[in-house]
Structure 1
Amino acid sequence: MLGVAWWLSAGVGRAAAHSGGLRGATRDPVAVPTWLFLLTGGGVVGVSFLLASFVTDRRLVAAIHDWARPLPTPGRVGHGLASTLGVAVLAVTFGVGILEDATGVRNLAVLVVWVGWWGGYVASTYLLGNTWPALNPFRTVAERLPTLDRPYPDRLGAWPSVAALLLLVWVEVTAPLADDARLLATALAGYTAVTLVGAVVFGPDRWFGSVDPLSRAFRLYGRLAPLGIADGRLRLRLPGSDLPDTRLDGAGDVAFVVALLFVTTYDGFVATGPWAAGVRAVAGVGVPPLAAYLAAYLVGAGLFYLAYRAAARVGRRRADTYLSVGELARRFAPSLLPIAAGYHLAHNLVSVLVLGPTFVAVAAAPLSPPPSPPQLAGLPGWFGGLEFAFVLLGHLLAVWVAHATAYELFPSRLQAVRSQYGVTAVMVCYTMLSLWIVAEPYVAPPFIAS
């Protein structure tokens, strides 16, 4: 699988590389000095921590997170229809990707993957609820295959899903999957083959519960969403209210949450002007551009993880607790999910809206798409402010989730507040980095994008 990924990323030439390359609109620079803009955003998160610290009534915090209302629960028929729909969409995407010569946004396969799925569906898992267990076409097929039920090595934990997530996003960023529909179909076929083989060897429950990165990501995002399943019943709850009760099993689970935050950040970072200038300078002295992308990718992922571990260490020291650094890291990691969701929404919203009419027009005639499919034009000037708002709202919700988690962990109010010092500092840094990326005009990543 690693060899296939390297071939996809190294032998692709220059073409539109990732979902950012589908953007039909550009962003104007912010009207205030960047340093002031970033400090303001970081300050908002810091102030929100101070305000949350005044909410010390445990019964109030518990009441907020326990609030829920039951809703009608879809039955077997609804689940069956969703499963059929998932398989049908996968088959159509693969078929159109192979059969249709149209490239870029004139190909339905490209639009389904990057606009419908990566931009729209992923957002639905944290804005509405996780429907992937019903829609998942890979699991639908896997459950109809015989299984060997080999024991999964427990020592591996969630680390294979971390590696798989990093690999998937690396291919997404560096390979021209947003332009070459046949290459996209090939990658999709490869992912399907690996998934089905893994499910046959270890069993669907174990594979999709421990290894498959998409299932894990959507399961975590579903904990953030206002709709969720509890005791077999669908219920409405406040966004993020299930995150303080989310239990992660080990360091691999923590690394996956941090990686989920990092990969979207990296996807945006490589589409900024400073990165373009930096990678051109590095290439000018003889360093292969792909090596520079890979080095930044691996170093960035490592730094994100180390920064979070350092935050947990600071929290343990400031709270003066017997709880280990690993335990604090596991308990506070779910509070990072609203940050990942807010940045994903900010990063992809424009693409989904601008290319929505394109999706409809191409879907109406997938094998004979119009030569110039329509796009939404003329987004109002204030619309760019929504992207910044999504980033900030995600961070503000993250602060509250960390606050609620601390009050579940510690009997002392002072301990609860002090335990958040490290994770709040990291959130401020993440906020400023995310806002900087969102504020930067889109620049096609050099050497891997035309």
Structure 2
Amino acid sequence: MSPTAAALPGVLDALAAAWRLLAHVGGLGDQVVGGGVPSWLTVLTGGALVGASFLFNSLLTDHEAVRAVNGARAALPSPPLLRRAGAAALSAAGVLGLALVLASSVLGPDEPTRNFAILVVWVGWWAGYAMSTYAVGNTWPAVNPWRTLARLLPVSGSRDLPAAWGAWPSVAGLLALVWVEVVSPLAANAPALGALVAAYTVLALAGASVYGTGTWFGRVDPVSRVFRLYGRVAPVQRDADGVHLRLPGTELTERTGGREPGSTAFVVALLWVTTFDGLVATPAWNAVATVVLGPVAPDRALGRAAVSLFYLAAMLVGFAAFLGAYRLAAERSRATVDSFLAPGAVERWFAPALLPIAAGYHVAHFLGYLLTLSPALAGVLAHPLGGAGPARVAVLPAWFGTLELGFVVAGHLLAVWVAHALAMELFPGVLRPIRSQYPFVVAMTAYTMTSAWVVGQPAVTPAFL
């Protein structure tokens, strides 16, 4: 037996043991740790680069020049027949993928690294496909299998969601989904993952039937809102004039945040849940959780309830802190320039600038994850219900962790540009737009340093999970 073959069972055992950690939305610390770069240096470097980017952007005070950069676009050929055929193919692929996920969750192999449902949901969809929405363009309206199926069902649309609820149902949905993903064994238990997907399917179809597909997938469904917002960062954009190629993130400078209540909170929640999912896999989190929970036995019902409530409380407190920091920055920005705008208006106006941060943080967590497990994913795509043989993984070079930290910083640098462009549209003159950004730069620097610290930590199994 060759040395490679002899080592393979050990590699697979290690992957299976670490699977619960790897499938968390930010639990890739073991994949992104740089070789010899101290954590404090990466944190300070990230913060310094954001500050330097702000100083550079402050020199760009020509409103028309900034508009010209953000408005640059090139039309892409998109014949209507080709668009319809492409949309139909994507819809069919989405429904087929959903059916295979449900089937393989019951009929597929028990090993997580060989199960179609687990690999497609976490690696193919939440990692790879999500990246495509901000790196290329948002195709989710066509791919979305629940929307496709909802169109085939009788829709009453007899009930209206109260306007005061705004985007808050999707905020609650996003926080709930990530909390369930963190505290449950969905990454290692295919039947449990299948049950969650089935429940989500029933809820989505029932909601679309009662409230209508436009209302449900526009206001309530958190997944649709996530991909819609990520799509605004992408270079490929579609509007009434057709399909265009633009500089990444520049679409954010034209259509500001939604006016519905909770729209800003959802953007902040998107940023926070990615941070939280990485945070729970750090040694510092485990130390705090151990002190707070003490000798709680997670195999007992009471202990499991205590652990779940602790993680829920931590998620909500962290979200409130992130949202409070952003709102404080918006209020200080308004006060700095003596603006008569309402605080909520300033919050909504600058909220799109947070989206590149969320995208950069997402790719930092998931690119290494996707590349490492892509051979295993290719195997299950060819054999959805089993028979793919031993799972294969790719080994990434040691410097890859530094590259992923670079994505965090790149997202923040793009965010600084978007915020600068938005400020120049909102406030007249030369100095007022620059002064208005002081509080936001402080907040973005804090976000950057927090993200860099989390990504740079060695990954460990989340405490008591």
Amino acid at match of 2:443: V
Per-residue displacement from partner, 1:170-201 (whole Å, max 9, x unpaired)? 11111111100010000001111111111001
Structure 1 position 17, deviation (Å): 5.9
What is the CA–CA distance in structure 1 between the aligned matches of 2:361 and 2:429, rounded to whole Å?
Answer: 33
Question: Where does residue 408 of structure 2 map in the other structure?
Answer: 391
1:427 aligns with 2:444: yes
Question: Where does residue 364 of structure 1 map in the other structure?
Answer: 382
Question: Where does residue 3 of structure 2 map in the other structure?
Answer: none
Question: Where does residue 325 of structure 1 map in the other structure?
Answer: 343
Aligned residue pair count: 434
TM-score by length of 2: 0.90
**Residue of structure 2 aligned with 1:253, choices 237, 256, 263:** 263
**Unmatched segments (≥5 aa) in structure 1:** 1-13
Question: Where does residue 16 of structure 1 map in the other structure?
Answer: 20
What is the CA–CA distance in structure 2 between the aligned matches of 1:61 and 1:421, rounded to whole Å?
Answer: 19
Question: Where does residue 69 of structure 1 map in the other structure?
Answer: 74
Structure 1 position 285, deviation (Å): 6.0
CA contact (8 A) 1:388 1:435 kept: yes
CA contact (8 A) 2:35 2:399 kept: no
1:108 aligns with 2:116: yes
1:90 aligns with 2:98: yes
Structure 1 residues 352 and 18 mapped into 2: Cα distance closer, same or farther (>3 Å)?
closer
**Residue of structure 1 aligned with 2:435, choices 400, 418, 425:** 418
CA contact (8 A) 1:93 1:109 kept: yes
Greater CA drift, 29-38 or 216-225: 29-38
CA contact (8 A) 1:320 1:415 kept: no
Structure 1 residues 283 and 369 mapped into 2: Cα distance closer, same or farther (>3 Å)?
farther
Question: Where does residue 315 of structure 2 map in the other structure?
Answer: 297
Question: Where does residue 189 of structure 1 map in the other structure?
Answer: 198
Question: Where does residue 124 of structure 1 map in the other structure?
Answer: 132
Matches within 5 A, 1:265-284: 265-284=275-294
Amino acid at match of 2:275: T
**Residue of structure 2 aligned with 1:213, choices 222, 233, 236:** 222
1:39 aligns with 2:14: no
**Unmatched segments (≥5 aa) in structure 2:** 1-17, 297-302
Question: Where does residue 7 of structure 1 map in the other structure?
Answer: none
Amino acid at match of 1:19: A
Structure 1 residues 413 and 24 mapped into 2: Cα distance closer, same or farther (>3 Å)?
closer
Structure 1 position 28, deviation (Å): 3.9
CA contact (8 A) 1:224 1:338 kept: yes
Secondary structure of 2:70's aligned partner = helix
Amino acid at match of 2:337: A
1:174 aligns with 2:174: no
**Residue of structure 2 aligned with 1:437, choices 443, 454, 463:** 454
RMSD over equivalenced CA pairs, Å = 1.8
Question: Where does residue 364 of structure 2 map in the other structure?
Answer: 346
What is the CA–CA distance in structure 2 between the aligned matches of 1:24 and 1:127, rounded to whole Å?
Answer: 22
What is the CA–CA distance in structure 1 between the aligned matches of 2:77 and 2:105, rounded to whole Å?
Answer: 38
What is the CA–CA distance in structure 2 between the aligned matches of 1:30 and 1:320, rounded to whole Å?
Answer: 48
Amino acid at match of 1:262: W
Secondary structure of 2:392's aligned partner = coil
CA contact (8 A) 1:93 1:112 kept: yes
Secondary structure of 1:299's aligned partner = helix
